[in-house]
Amino acid sequence: MILIGIGSNLPTEAGPPIATCIRALERLNERGIAVTRCSPWYETAPVPISDQPWFANGVAEVETTLAPIWLLEVLQAIEHDFGRVRGIENAPRTLDLDLLAYNEVVLDVERLILPHPRLQDRAFVLQPLCDMAPDWRHPTLGLTAAELLSRLQPGQVLRRFHGNP
3 close to 59: Cβ distance less than 8 angstroms: yes
Which residues on neighbouring strands pair with residue 8, listed in sequence order?
56
Q: How far apart are the first and last CA of the chain?
A: 24
- Residue 159 CA, distance from chain mean position: 16
Among all residues, which ones are annotated catalytic?
Answer: 84, 93, 96, 98
141 close to 130: Cβ distance less than 8 angstroms: no
